[in-house]
Amino acid sequence: MRVTVFFISILAFISFRSKAQQSPEVSQYVIHQPFVNTASIAKSGAQNGALIFKQQWLGYEGAPTSFFMNYNMPLKSASRFGGILLSNDRIGIHNNGRLSAIYAHKFRIDSKSFFSLSAAPGLQFIQSDYTQIQTDFPDDPTFQGSATSMFSVNMGAGAYYINKKFFAGLALPTLLYNHFEPTGTENKGTIGFDIKQIPLNLTGGWKKDLGKFFSIQPSFLLKYEVASAMQIDINAMAEYREVIGFGLSYRTTQAVNIMANYRISKLFKIGYAFNTQIGSKLGSYHSGTHEVALLYGIENGRQTSMNIPKKIKRYRKKKAKERKKALKKLQKEQPELAPGGKRNNKQPYS
């Protein structure tokens, strides 16, 4: 309906006039962390990535839709990694796109832990098509004009620590402050640095094996942005053989996420997340927020920690112990075979 599209466009217009600083929001960062901390790309020693499509407020005309893409790879070194991060948010008549390059360097602490630092220079593009707005008053000066666009640069940074079971990260998605004021007749924008305007992502969690096949990974995300209230996510992801995963997340903005994922091959995993607001009157007008993901790379499974030379060494050691144990048993049953023992070669009289 025209009223619905107009209502959403007004909300988005107010948001864009105030601050276009909010970072994109993904629910399945629990299984692919570069979306909240670019330094986490050093976690894997192989190529990996993700594609995510998000539809908010399904069934509500003009509701926001988002697309996210990430790809990472080692840079001919065990300590250097590179990647790209792309996102696009469409809200009513407004389109907000971001493209960032990622560089991360890994610093190994010991054989089981390391920390990494990252830098992510990026570009941001905003476009508003005012020709799609239909108002009650012809030639409304507030919405006159055709499509307008603005372009800016920015920089992100991150730090990440991980050992065999625990991880923690601190990320600054944008270091520069962009203030946009798009109108139908002119574009206004300023870029500056203000430490009070820098958003912050703080993450942490650990992994616990529950027997041979099951594992659980509790985690949290603290997200702070000047333009919105502080957000805290409490997550729990359970997995069976790292093939089937199921998770729940509670967000302090009174939202609940239900997540599920399945490994379809050694290299690919699919994921789904459903988000709903608790006690929201808007919920009666739509069927929630849906998010579909396709993840690529061996970093999504136990193959990451697979060390072939170490496994061969363990196998040889195990076989040597088995042979030694068998020899001791044989010597106990037949003492004459023991080293230094005298073999009885006397034959009985016939």
Q: Are 198 and 223 in contact (CB under 8 A)?
A: no
241 is a domain residue: yes
Q: Which residue range is the domain that position 167 belongs to? A: 2-306
User: In terms of C-beta density within 10 A (0-12 exposed, 13-18 middle, 19 or more buried), how is residue 305 classed?
Assistant: exposed
For the chain, how many structural domains are there in total?
1
**How far is it, in rounded angstroms, from Cα 68 to Cα 270?**
14
141 Rama sector, left if φ>0, alpha if ψ -120 to 50, beta otherwise: alpha
196 is a domain residue: yes
pLDDT tens digit string along 279-337?
766 656 667 889 999 999 965 444 344 445 556 777 788 888 888 888 888 877 777 65
Which candidate, 242, 246, 288, 205, places its Cα nearest to that of 33?
205
Domain CATH number, residue 261: 2.40.160.40
274 is a domain residue: yes
Q: Which SS3 state, helix, strand or coil, does residue 102 take?
A: strand
> Taking the model in full, what pTM does it have?
0.74
pLDDT tens digit string along 224-256?
988 777 999 999 999 998 899 999 999 998 899
Type of residue found at 290: H
pLDDT tens digit string along 99-129?
999 999 999 998 889 999 999 999 988 887 7
258 is a domain residue: yes
Local confidence band at 140 (pLDDT 50, 70, 90 cut-offs): low
What token pair was written down for 160? 């990440």
Average of per-residue pLDDT values in the chain: 81
81 is a domain residue: yes
pLDDT at 29: 95
What token pair was written down for 345? 């070669």
pLDDT at 298: 65
Please, which residues bridge with residue 148 across strands?
A: 128
110 is a domain residue: yes
Phi, psi of 23, rounded to the nearest 5 degrees = -85, 150
333 is a domain residue: no
323 is a domain residue: no
